[in-house]
Structure 1
Amino acid sequence: MKYLFLLGAAPFIAAAPAYADDIANDTIVVTATRTETPVSEIGQSVSVITRGDIERTQAVTATDVLARLPGASVSQSGGFGQPASLFIRGAKNAQSLVLIDGVRINDPGDVGGGFDFGSLTVGQFDRIEVVRGSSGVLWGSRAIGGVINLITARPTDQWLVRGQAEYGWRDQKQLGASAAGKLGPVGLTLGGNWLKGDGYSAFDERLGGKEKDGFESKSANARAEVELVDGLTADAGTYWTKANYDYDNTGADALNLGMKRDTVGYANLRYKGLDGRLTARIGYGLTDTRRISDDAVYGPYTTNGRADRFEGQVAFAPLDLASIQIGAETEKQNFSDNYGSKDSTSIDSVYGMLTVHPLTGLTLNGGLRYDDNSDFGHKTTFSANGAWAVGSGNEAPILRASYGEGFKAPSLYQLYTNGGYRELSPETSKAWDAGVELPFAEGQGRFTVTYFDRKTKRLIDYDYAEWNYYNVGRAWAQGVELGMQVNDWRGFDVNLSYTYLDAENRDTGAQLARRPKNNFYASLDRLIAERFRLGADLRVGGGRYDDVANQYWLAGHVLVGLRGSVAVNDHLEVYGRVENLFDEHYEVVRTYGTAGRAAYAGIRVKM
């Protein structure tokens, strides 16, 4: 039956979801619904980070950006290149789906099938959309915690070229450039970034770590699109990154070497007709990864992961009051290592989503998804959400609520390394949230408060006593997110986020490891005389347990940063920043180091 379904759905198969034609418009997002949708019609909690936000805060890595958001916390075992996990509302790193230009980049060779954020820079991205909460019906496996979509610049009729150079603490150097525009009928996007530094010891220097763990990262992206006939376009693109880095053993310096290489490719046909009421896409997407952990004593361990994916969707709005979206997907994953392991799995899916607008300002969405996993059988999941804009215009409050179910099979790595020890079962989840968005500051500011609750069965965790993976009987995460954002109001930009999280193993009562109960971030920027900008940020990370048995407690920390920039003219900007101003000593992973006081300076060129 699954092959009959895929054959019938073939005309709609696509490699990448749609994204907004004008991504500079902050009121339009795509990741939450896989179609261009105003924020006021989205029932889930969404954050949008623009190119302006990235440049204003002088962010270098994806973790710099994501750690500032409500509901998100980051745990990294050392500096750049070292493993970094993102927890959205307490969900494991492998339970959140990561996309680049709509293409899944979760690593099939990763421990849990997640994405390691440790070496991902943000210099090439123009926009980042983050959806918090279960998105399993539209996005499938791995979208239990949320979805992160990193979007490169879209070409316009006028070429835009950017360049950046930065230098700072411990000989850290960064160069980046991007260009987007059109050559005749062909739209092009090109970009590249290079980052290199001496780094600091992954083993905490304040505990005796002396050997610096340096790194070097290179990345490049390209995209081309062309309109074939009226309403029908073709596009293809790629994103490639490679990072080399040093790393240590647990609790000691070591001369270990690591390498990560990620390649993403995609090609699509897109159609839009009937005055925009009908859209469809067909295509193919590829994710190919390679990881090398070269231990100075035991030698290298190499993993290779590859995912080939066909996916597609068609959306039709026969009436202004209703629209329907259907999609079909098939994915094959392959995993191998240098110890003879070689395995594969596949999953076929179909989903549908109905959207109605029964009242002015009210949007309701409901959907179903059917997954057929070659190893673990089939599963049907359901979701529903709604948004109600109580009034009209930028100053209308918005009420939101959502419910979503999730399904995630064990990764190939977990199945292979656990062979003969414990039988693993798929994770399942049920999550809901409810919140309100209140505008202020003449419509330029937004205050949000959201309560969330997620129950997970058979959560996969690692047992350090038995040295293998196992299913936790029940896990529960609940909490509250507060957010406030002000954009360009009387020269001010303000961003506040606070998260209270209670995440525990319901069978043992222990807190889930490395999730802080309290997390707070605040930033304030002021534009002076149209040329000078000053800013500061404050991060308060709560304490957390570092292990599943709750035996090792890591205290919280307070970090302060300062930054400033000068626009020399319309094309040139000079900037600088100081991070960890008071040289706070802290750990987010036991015995692993974090950066001390550091200063950086750079220039940006735009034309």
Structure 2
Amino acid sequence: MKIRLQPTRLAVLSCLAVLHLPSPAQTVAQLGVTVVTAARVEQPLAEVLPSVSVITREDIDRAQAASLADLLQGEAGFEFGRNGGPGNVTSFFLRGAASTNLVIMIDGVRTLVDGWGNLSAIDLPLSQIERIELLRGNASALYGEAAVGGVIQIFTREVGDQPGAYGTVTAGSRGSRGLTAGYAARDGDLGLRLDAGAEHTDGFSAMNPAQNTRVNPDRDAIDRQHFSGKLTQQVSRDLTLGVYANVVRTKVDFDDGSSPAVATDVQQLQRETALLNVYAEGRLSPDWRSRIDLSRTTLTLLDELNGQPNQGAYTAGRSTGQQNALRWFNSYAQGADRVFNFGVESGDEAYTSDATSSGYRAQRRMFGAFAGVNQTFGALSLQGNLRMDSVEVNKLDTIYARRWEATSGLLGLGWRLSDAWRLTGSVSTGFRAPSAGELSNNIDLKPETHRSSEAGVAWARGTDSLRLVAFQTRTDDAIYWQSVSPWTPVNIGKVRNSGVELSGRALWLGNQIRYALVSQDPWNESDGTRLARRARDYGSLEVSRLIGATTAGMRFNAFGDRYDSGAPGRTLAGYATVALYASRPLSRDWTVRVKAENLFDRTYQLAYGYNTPPSGVWVTLAYQQH
């Protein structure tokens, strides 16, 4: 594995690591946080072999972020591109992989992507989230097709964890205002949680008129409404039944700027996602836990131009998607040192698009069977996972159908050097099948195949932790859209990314410190260019402390220059932003929170020609019944 790391970057890594050198006064307690995403079984974070970050409800409240992308910005391994402000089209990149090569899950259920394989969970309100586990690296052996860059697993707020009413009122810059309200209760074996909200911002022009004269310079507003509900019933000591429902509606004004647009055009994208999940979980024996999920997800997109459906050459006036999915998951413990997991997953997806020249009706069926083991032999830890997947795509009203089968594997090893230090390493394989939309434009596409490896050192003591990882992923038959006519998706050949990733937390002189630093080389070997919208170097530093009753903090994000999508000669300049936040309880039930974003009003772009939020200030009044 060849890793490019210059001496100056090595010096920065070394300085950050010094924060974690053990002192005689520190205890030997391991991290109390547990995760489930890394191996599909519950593990202490200090024992996990793959690279995982955890964002808690406390972290979410402290950050006061506008969206999921803004919350995750600065996490190790995570980058994003966006066509304007929060709510606009957003791409996630994990370990340099494209949005089509990562998986977002909600409470263990894989979320629906649109017909082109793009993520549809970017609108999920943060008020509904209890915690997020960010798994970096190839996880196809655990989660199947497309989980190559990693997995973002979202856990929604549980029923009755903190009974009573809760909510927030927010107001701030650019005419922003928002309201959320929720209620959680438990009556014996019955638990309930309801959560609803609405938000609006006048926004700013999504595109820069100085870079494109066809852009309407008016403000592009965003409106969102959401509702979720969760109900659980504990039937017996060994069986719990539950249902979760979620609906999110978003209207976002945007700028396109492509011909034949004119500067007076008004464009709006309306999105609605809905999820219904019914599940049963419990114990089949003292050592055997099992869960069955049956879910249905729908996605509706309406692209309007001047109040009418926009059915241009490469836009869809209306497109829809729906997914029916079944998951059966099991874990079986053999003593304290060995845990097996196994199960099956199936999904039936249907997509429609009424775009004039690129419309389609397609069906996509997926089936996967998986098994894994986590074993401890004294100081040695082992994780092994194997999965077999089948993906079939049919374009309706035509004669074509494609079916692919693939086997993915992962082998991870860990060696505990002491109570605090551990070495880790893994190798894995994975794949991504072409999406329905991609195949509708090129029936000869082949699946992408991926090979990944990583090796690292981890340190954990008390609530402090450090992880330094070298990683590499190589892709064959990568699917990319041609940047010249006829603008169709093609298998371009080889893509790779390799790098070094440092992340950690520390308590130092009364300050809570979180940091991440990544140096990578995302490269398209077929045409000798850097992968679009990925920085070679980026990182973040967050420092917070308690001052009397007030928690105050600062977050610094910095990203190097990037190539723009489809134009390797066009560079997006590097940028750095600073955000400040503070929160103070007013009483037992009331808290006031303040945040200032982009404090120095830096101008930067995440996609060429598209603006990003200028500086702004927001105030939130939060209520939690105790």
Deviates further, 119-128 or 90-99: 119-128
Check the 8 A contact 2:564/2:570 in 1, yes or no: yes
Question: After the TM superposition, which residues 475-554 of structure 1 pair with which residues of structure 2 at under 5 Å, given as runs?
Answer: 475-486=495-506, 491-529=510-548, 531-554=549-572
Distance 1:498 1:157 in 2: 35
The CA deviation at 1:389 is 3.8
Secondary structure at the aligned position of 1:332 is classed as: strand
State whether structure 2 residue 565 is matched by structure 1 residue 565. Answer: no
Check the 8 A contact 2:605/2:611 in 1, yes or no: yes
Distance 2:585 2:509 in 1: 18
Secondary structure at the aligned position of 1:68 is classed as: coil
2:136 paired residue among 128, 132, 138: 132
Q: Runs of 5+ in structure 1 lacking a partner?
A: 1-24
TM-score by length of 2: 0.87
1:601 paired residue among 619, 622, 625: 619
- CA deviations 1:209-245 (Å, max 9, x no partner) are 6200001011121111112122011111112111001
Check the 8 A contact 1:82/1:118 in 2, yes or no: no
Secondary structure at the aligned position of 1:53 is classed as: helix
1:332 paired residue among 348, 373, 386: 348
What is the aligned-residue identity percentage? 27
2:411 paired residue among 384, 405, 423: 384
Check the 8 A contact 2:309/2:318 in 1, yes or no: no
2:281 paired residue among 270, 284, 304: 270
Distance 1:272 1:164 in 2: 38
- CA deviations 1:435-479 (Å, max 9, x no partner) are 122236xx2221221111000111111112021111120100111
State whether structure 2 residue 429 is matched by structure 1 residue 405. Answer: yes
- CA deviations 1:38-86 (Å, max 9, x no partner) are 2233210000000111111222310111112001111111012211111
Distance 2:293 2:467 in 1: 37
The CA deviation at 1:523 is 1.3
The answer for the alignment partner of 1:449 in structure 2 is: 468
The answer for the alignment partner of 1:194 in structure 2 is: 198
The aligned amino acid for 1:382 is G
Check the 8 A contact 2:104/2:121 in 1, yes or no: no
The answer for the alignment partner of 1:214 in structure 2 is: 221
The answer for the alignment partner of 2:369 in structure 1 is: 350
The CA deviation at 1:160 is 4.4
- CA deviations 1:248-285 (Å, max 9, x no partner) are 1237753001111111111111122543x111122312
Question: After the TM superposition, which residues 284-303 of structure 1 pair with which residues of structure 2 at under 5 Å, given as runs?
Answer: 284-296=294-306, 299-300=310-311, 301-303=317-319
Secondary structure at the aligned position of 1:199 is classed as: strand
2:439 paired residue among 415, 420, 429: 415
The aligned amino acid for 2:518 is T
Distance 1:425 1:377 in 2: 9
The aligned amino acid for 2:231 is A
The answer for the alignment partner of 1:589 in structure 2 is: 607
Distance 2:427 2:483 in 1: 34
Check the 8 A contact 1:538/1:558 in 2, yes or no: yes
Secondary structure at the aligned position of 2:255 is classed as: strand
Q: Runs of 5+ in structure 2 lacking a partner?
A: 1-30, 312-316, 393-401
The answer for the alignment partner of 2:320 in structure 1 is: 304
Deviates further, 377-386 or 592-601: 377-386
The CA deviation at 1:429 is 0.4
State whether structure 2 residue 259 is matched by structure 1 residue 255. Answer: no
The aligned amino acid for 1:322 is R
Secondary structure at the aligned position of 1:79 is classed as: coil
The answer for the alignment partner of 1:433 in structure 2 is: 454
Distance 1:191 1:142 in 2: 31
The CA deviation at 1:505 is 1.0
Check the 8 A contact 2:499/2:519 in 1, yes or no: yes
Secondary structure at the aligned position of 1:551 is classed as: strand
The answer for the alignment partner of 2:398 in structure 1 is: none
- CA deviations 1:374-423 (Å, max 9, x no partner) are 2233111111113344334xxx123222222111111111112x14xx62
Distance 1:116 1:343, change over 3 A: closer
Check the 8 A contact 2:120/2:273 in 1, yes or no: no
1:32 paired residue among 28, 33, 38: 38
Aligned residues: 569
Deviates further, 86-95 or 463-472: 463-472
Distance 1:562 1:319, change over 3 A: closer
Distance 1:470 1:507, change over 3 A: same
Distance 1:282 1:565 in 2: 40
Check the 8 A contact 1:86/1:117 in 2, yes or no: no
Distance 1:439 1:39, change over 3 A: closer
The answer for the alignment partner of 2:181 in structure 1 is: 177
Deviates further, 541-550 or 203-212: 203-212
Distance 1:398 1:186 in 2: 43
Check the 8 A contact 1:76/1:118 in 2, yes or no: no
The aligned amino acid for 2:407 is T
